[in-house]
Amino acid sequence: MAEFEPKIIVFACNWCTYAAADLAGTSRVQYPPNAYIVRMMCSGMINPSYVLRAFEDGADGVIVSGCHYTDCHYIDGPVKCDAMFAKLKRLVHILGLEDERLKREMISTSEGTVFARVVREFVSELKRLGPSPFSSLRNSRKEKAVA
Amino acid sequence: MKTISPYKEATDVILEAGGEPLKLCYQCGLCTAVCPWNVVRSFLVRRIMHEAQLGVTDFDSEDVWTCATCRACVQRCPRGVEIIDVVRAVRRVVASLGIGVVPDALRISAKNIAGVGNPFGEAPEKRNDWAKDLGVKEFVPGTEILYFPCCVPSYDPDVKTVARSVATIFNKLGVDYGLISTEARCCGESIRKAGHEDTFQNLAHNNINLFANNDVKTVVVSSPHCYHTFRNEYPELGGKFEVIHITQYLASLIDEGKLKFSKTMNKKVIYSDPCYLGRHNNVYDEPRKILQSIPGLELIEFPDARENALCCGGGGGRIWMDTPKGERFSDIRVEQAVEKGADIIALACPYCFLNYRDSVLSMGKAETMQVRDIAELVAEAV
Amino acid sequence: MEEVKIGVYVCWCGLNIAGTVDSEEVARYAGTLPHVAVARDYKYMCSDPGQDLIKNDIKRLGINRVVVASCSPRLHEPTFRKACRDAGLNPYLYEHANIREHCSWPHATDKNRATEKAKDLVRAAVRRVYYQEPLEIKEVPVNPNVLVVGGGIAGIQAALDIADGEKKVYMVERDASIGGHMIQLDRTFPTLDCSECILTPKMTDTGHHPNIELMTNSEVEEVSGYIGNFNVRIRKKPRYVDVDKCNSCGECAKVCPVEVPDEFEMGLSMRKAAYLPLPQAVPAAFAIDKRGTAPCRIACPAGVNAQGYIALISQGKFKEALELVRRAMPFAGVLGRVCTHPCELECERGKFDEPVSIRALKRFIADYELKTEREKVVPIETTKDSKVAVIGSGPAGLACAYDLIREGYAVTVFESLPRAGGLLRYGIPEYRLPKEVLDNDISYIQELGVEIKTKSPVEDLAEVFNQGYAAIFIASGAQGSQKMGIPGEETSGVIHALDFLRMVNAGVDIKLGNKVVVVGGGNAAIDAARASLRLGAREVTVVYRRSRDEMPAISSEVEEAEHEGIKIHFLATPTKILSRDGQLSAIECITMKLGEPDASGRRRPVAVKGTEFTMNVDNVIIAIGQTVDKTALPKELNYTSWGTLEVDPVTLQTHIAGVFAGGDVVSGPADVVVAVAAGKEAAISIDRYLRGVSLTEERQVTPKRVENVSKERAQLKARASTPLLKLDERKGSFAEVELSFDEKTAIEEAKRCLNCGVCSECLECVKVCEQGAINHEMQDEFVEVEVGSMILATGYQQFDPSVIPQYGYKKFDNVLTGLEFERITCAGGPTQGRIQLKDGREPESVAIVHCVGSRDQNYHEYCSRVCCMYGLKYAELIKEFTKAEVYEFYIDMRCFGEAFEEFYKRVSEMGVNFIRGKVANITDRVMGEEERGKLIVTAEDTLLGKMIRVPVDMVILCAALEARSDAADVASLFTIGQRGDGFFLETHPKLAPVNTPTDGVFIAGCCEAPRDVPDTVAQASAAASKALSLISRGKVTTEAAVSYVDESICHGCGRCEEICTFHAPSIIRTDGRLVSSINEALCKGCGACAVVCPTGAAQIKHFNMQEIEGLVDGLLEVHRG
pLDDT per residue over C32-42, tens digit each?
999 999 999 99
C959 min Cα distance to partner chain B (Å) = 15
Whether C939 and B33 lie within 8 Å, measured CB to CB: yes
Question: Which tens digits make up the pLDDT trace of C997-1044?
Answer: 788 999 999 999 999 999 999 999 999 999 999 999 999 887 788 999
Q: Which of B38, B78, B308 sits opposite C947 (nearest CB)?
A: B38
Contacts of residue C516, Cβ cutoff 8 Å, sequence gap at least 6: C529, C532, C537, C539, C540, C541, C617, C618, C619, C620, C621
Q: Which of B46, B47, B78 sits opposite C857 (nearest CB)?
A: B78
Whether B34 and C921 lie within 8 Å, measured CB to CB: yes
Whether A53 and C103 lie within 8 Å, measured CB to CB: no
Chain-centre distance for alpha carbon C54: 59
The closest of C607, C613, C571 to C589, measured between CA atoms, is: C613
Contact present, B271 and B247 (Cβ < 8 Å): no
Contact present, C466 and C372 (Cβ < 8 Å): no
Would you state the pLDDT for residue C375? 82
Residue C1121 pLDDT > 60 = no
Question: Which tens digits make up the pLDDT trace of B7-52?
Answer: 788 899 999 999 999 999 999 999 999 999 999 999 999 999 999 9
Distance in Å from the first CA to the final CA of chain B: 68
Residue C1054 pLDDT > 70 = yes
Q: Which residues of A touch C101 (CB under 8 A)?
A: 21-22, 24-26
The secondary element (H helix, E strand) that includes residue A11 is strand A8-13
Distance in Å from the first CA to the final CA of chain A: 24
CA distance C1033 to C1013: 30
Greater confidence, A41 or B1? Answer: A41
Contact present, A80 and C1091 (Cβ < 8 Å): yes
Would you state the pLDDT for residue C819? 97
Among A9, A11, A57, pick the best mutation site for testing chain C contact (most C Cβ within 10 A): A57
Query: CATH assignment of B260-381?
Result: 3.40.50
Chain-centre distance for alpha carbon C102: 45
Burial of C588 (C-beta count, 10 Å sphere; 0-12/13-18/19+)? middle
Contact present, C355 and C719 (Cβ < 8 Å): yes
Give the number of B-C residue pairs with CB atoms closer than 8 Å.
55
Please, what is the average pLDDT of chain A? 89
- Number of CB atoms found within 10 A of residue B102's CB: 19
Counts for chain C of helices (H) and strands (E), in that order: 33, 50
Whether C918 and B47 lie within 8 Å, measured CB to CB: no
Contacts of residue C926, Cβ cutoff 8 Å, sequence gap at least 6: C932, C933, C934, C936, C951
Three-state secondary-structure class, residue B106: helix
Contact present, C73 and C98 (Cβ < 8 Å): yes
Q: Which residues of B touch C918 (CB under 8 A)?
A: 28-30, 33, 78
How far is the CA of C740 from the CAs of B228, C264, C721, C724, in angstroms? 67, 40, 10, 9
All chains having 3 or more CB pairs closer than 8 angstroms to chain B: C
Q: Which residues of C touch A41 (CB under 8 A)?
A: 1041, 1085-1087, 1100, 1103
Three-state secondary-structure class, residue C175: coil
Q: Which amino acid is at C1015?
A: D
Would you state the pLDDT for residue C550? 86
Dihedral (CA of C768, C772, C777, C781) sign: negative
Fold for C798-961, please state it. FAD/NAD(P)-binding domain (3.50.50)
Dihedral (CA of C814, C820, C822, C823) sign: negative
Pairing type for strands B298-300 and B268-271 reads: parallel
The closest of C501, C441, C488 to C617, measured between CA atoms, is: C488
Dihedral (CA of C320, C322, C324, C330) sign: negative
Whether A50 and C109 lie within 8 Å, measured CB to CB: no
Whether C858 and B79 lie within 8 Å, measured CB to CB: no
Whether A80 and C1088 lie within 8 Å, measured CB to CB: yes
Structural domain boundaries in chain B: 10-97, 104-251, 260-381
The secondary element (H helix, E strand) that includes residue C574 is strand C572-580
Three-state secondary-structure class, residue B36: coil
- Provide ipTM, 2 decimals: 0.81
* Contact with chain B for residue C942, Cβ under 8 A: yes
Q: With pLDDT > 90 as the criterion, what percentage of chain A qualifies?
A: 73
Q: Which residues of B touch C855 (CB under 8 A)?
A: 78
CATH class, range C295-375+708-757: mainly alpha
CA distance C930 to C949: 11
| Identical topology for domains C6-135 and C146-237+789-794+964-1036 | no
Contact present, C531 and C500 (Cβ < 8 Å): yes
Would you state the pLDDT for residue C1080? 81
Dihedral (CA of C69, C71, C77, C83) sign: negative
Question: Which tens digits make up the pLDDT trace of C148-190?
Answer: 999 999 999 999 999 999 999 999 999 999 999 999 999 999 9
Whether C102 and A25 lie within 8 Å, measured CB to CB: yes
Would you state the pLDDT for residue A146? 45
Query: CATH assignment of B104-251?
Result: 3.40.50
The closest of B162, B227, B237 to B189, measured between CA atoms, is: B227
Three-state secondary-structure class, residue C588: strand
Tell me which chain C residue has its CA closest to the CA of residue B46. Answer: C942
| Identical topology for domains B104-251 and B260-381 | yes
Contact present, C804 and C859 (Cβ < 8 Å): yes
- Three-class HEC string of C903-946: HHHHHHHCCCEEEECCCCEEECCCCCHHHCCCEEEEEEECCCCE
Q: Residue B318 has what DSSP assignment?
A: G
* Contact with chain B for residue C891, Cβ under 8 A: yes
Q: Which of C851, C858, C940 sits opposite B29 (nearest CB)?
A: C940
Whether C941 and B29 lie within 8 Å, measured CB to CB: yes
Whether C1105 and A21 lie within 8 Å, measured CB to CB: no
CA distance C774 to C757: 17
How far is the CA of C869 from the CAs of C816, C845, C1011, in angstroms? 17, 20, 11
CA distance C265 to B64: 51
Fold for C487-624, please state it. FAD/NAD(P)-binding domain (3.50.50)
C918 min Cα distance to partner chain B (Å) = 5
CA distance B360 to B382: 26
Structural domain boundaries in chain C: 6-135, 146-237+789-794+964-1036, 295-375+708-757, 387-479+629-691, 487-624, 798-961, 1043-1101
Whether A9 and C1116 lie within 8 Å, measured CB to CB: yes
CA distance A92 to A75: 28
Question: Which tens digits make up the pLDDT trace of C346-362?
Answer: 999 999 999 999 999 99
Q: Which residues of A touch C1100 (CB under 8 A)?
A: 41, 45
Three-state secondary-structure class, residue A146: helix
Chain-centre distance for alpha carbon C647: 38
Contacts of residue B357, Cβ cutoff 8 Å, sequence gap at least 6: B158, B371
Pairing type for strands C603-607 and C583-597 reads: antiparallel
Residue A147 pLDDT > 60 = no
Pairing type for strands C796-798 and C961-963 reads: antiparallel
Is the bond into B6 cis (omega within 30 degrees of 0)?
Answer: no
The secondary element (H helix, E strand) that includes residue A8 is strand A8-13
Would you state the pLDDT for residue A70? 66
Q: Which residues of C touch A9 (CB under 8 A)?
A: 1112, 1115-1116
- Number of CB atoms found within 10 A of residue A117's CB: 15
CA distance C845 to C579: 90
pLDDT band at C808 (very low <50, low <70, confident <90, very high): very high
Question: Which tens digits make up the pLDDT trace of B229-265?
Answer: 999 999 999 999 999 999 999 999 999 999 999 999 9
CA distance B348 to B220: 13
CA distance A28 to C106: 5
Contact present, C395 and C423 (Cβ < 8 Å): yes
Q: Residue C101 has what DSSP assignment?
A: I
**Which one is the CATH code of C1043-1101: 3.20.10.10, 3.40.50.720, 3.30.70.20, 3.30.450.20?**
3.30.70.20
Torsion angle, alpha carbons of C197, C202, C207, C212, to 10: -170
The closest of C76, C129, C66, C131 to C99, measured between CA atoms, is: C76
Contacts of residue A107, Cβ cutoff 8 Å, sequence gap at least 6: A12, A16, A17, A20, A65, A114, A115, A118
Chain-centre distance for alpha carbon C168: 32
pLDDT band at C885 (very low <50, low <70, confident <90, very high): very high
CATH 3.50.50.60 fits C146-237+789-794+964-1036, yes or no: yes
Tell me which chain A residue has its CA closest to the CA of residue C1109. Answer: A50
The secondary element (H helix, E strand) that includes residue C125 is helix C111-131
Please, what is the average pLDDT of chain B? 95
Residue A75 pLDDT > 80 = no
Q: Which residues of C touch A70 (CB under 8 A)?
A: 968, 972
Q: Which amino acid is at C457?
A: P
Tell me which chain C residue has its CA closest to the CA of residue A62. Answer: C1112
Would you state the pLDDT for residue C18? 95
Q: With pLDDT > 90 as the criterion, what percentage of chain B qualifies?
A: 95
Q: Which of B26, B44, B76 sits opposite C940 (nearest CB)?
A: B44
Average pLDDT for residues C1083-1107, to the nearest whole number?
92
Contact present, B277 and B226 (Cβ < 8 Å): no
Q: Which residues of B touch C946 (CB under 8 A)?
A: 42
The secondary element (H helix, E strand) that includes residue C413 is strand C410-414
Tell me which chain C residue has its CA closest to the CA of residue A42. Answer: C1086
Three-state secondary-structure class, residue C1040: coil
* Contact with chain B for residue C856, Cβ under 8 A: yes
Three-state secondary-structure class, residue B64: helix
CA distance C310 to C324: 10
Would you state the pLDDT for residue C714? 87
Please, what is the average pLDDT of chain C? 93
Among B24, B28, B56, B304, pick the best mutation site for testing chain C contact (most C Cβ within 10 A): B28
Dihedral (CA of C313, C314, C320, C323) sign: negative
Q: Which amino acid is at A41?
A: M
Whether C942 and B46 lie within 8 Å, measured CB to CB: yes
Contact present, A59 and A66 (Cβ < 8 Å): no
B374 min Cα distance to partner chain C (Å) = 29
Residue A145 pLDDT > 60 = no
Q: Which amino acid is at C113?
A: R
Query: CATH assignment of C387-479+629-691?
Result: 3.50.50.60
* Contact with chain B for residue C936, Cβ under 8 A: no
CATH class, range C6-135: alpha beta
Whether A9 and C116 lie within 8 Å, measured CB to CB: no
Residue B3 pLDDT > 70 = no
